[in-house]
């Protein structure tokens, strides 16, 4: 089965039809996607600032970072879920998009990088290079997300 035939099949499934027919699921999913982007990116920026001793230094790193990292994980889960809803809304356009394919690989890479970074920060150790690299990667992913609409 090619990606084209798979996306055509997905397009005709009851769940895809229901999302398309509903007037509110797509804008709701898009809004949640954007809100979660804000959480992930601003959280990553704060973690960089803390790593460089520019923010939240009144508390030990591990105690300060723990709730932020928990919220970032939740936001990432919401991004994956709402991203899946947006794909289901238009599978024949989304799944064949090279930009979306690259974006999903970058999201997997970012999630993989976030694990050792969180481990270090939750152990009270900063990780300058890793936190800056992850912030940059989230930036590239945001750019790719917006670009999907303009790349054919």
Residues that bind ligand HEM (CB under 6 A): 30, 33-34, 37, 40-41, 79-80, 83-84, 86-87, 94, 100, 104, 107, 138, 141-142, 145-146, 148-149
Tokens of 8: 């055509």
Toward ligand HEM, which CB reaches closer, 103 or 120?
103
- Give CA–CA dist 73/9, Å, rounded: 32
Minimum distance between the CB of residue 57 and ligand HEM, rounded to whole angstroms?
26
Toward ligand HEM, which CB reaches closer, 26 or 62?
26
- Give CA–CA dist 142/28, Å, rounded: 18
**SS3 annotation, 43-75:** HHHHHHHHHCCCCCCCCCHHHHHHHHHHHHHHH
**Sequence-separated (6 or more) residues with CB below 8 Å from residue 111:** 76
Minimum distance between the CB of residue 84 and ligand HEM, rounded to whole angstroms?
6
Toward ligand HEM, which CB reaches closer, 61 or 107?
107
Toward ligand HEM, which CB reaches closer, 86 or 118?
86
- Within 10 angstroms of residue 45's Cβ, the number of other Cβ atoms is 15
Minimum distance between the CB of residue 100 and ligand HEM, rounded to whole angstroms?
6
């Amino acid at each position: 089965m090619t990606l084209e035939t798979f996306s055509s099949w997905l397009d005709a499934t009851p769940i895809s039809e229901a999302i398309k027919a509903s007037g509110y699921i797509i804008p709701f999913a898009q809004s949640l996607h954007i809100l979660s982007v804000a959480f992930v990116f601003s959280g990553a920026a704060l973690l960089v600032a803390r790593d460089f001793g520019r923010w939240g230094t009144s508390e030990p790193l591990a105690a300060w970072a723990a709730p932020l990292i928990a919220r970032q994980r939740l936001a990432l889960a919401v991004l994956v879920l709402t991203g899946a809803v947006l794909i289901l809304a238009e599978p024949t356009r989304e799944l064949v998009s090279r930009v979306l394919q690259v974006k999903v690989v970058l999201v997997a890479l970012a999630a993989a990088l976030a694990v050792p970074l969180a481990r270090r920060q939750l152990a009270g150790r900063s990780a300058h290079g890793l936190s800056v690299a992850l912030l940059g990667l989230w930036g590239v992913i945001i750019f790719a997300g917006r670009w999907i609409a303009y790349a054919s």
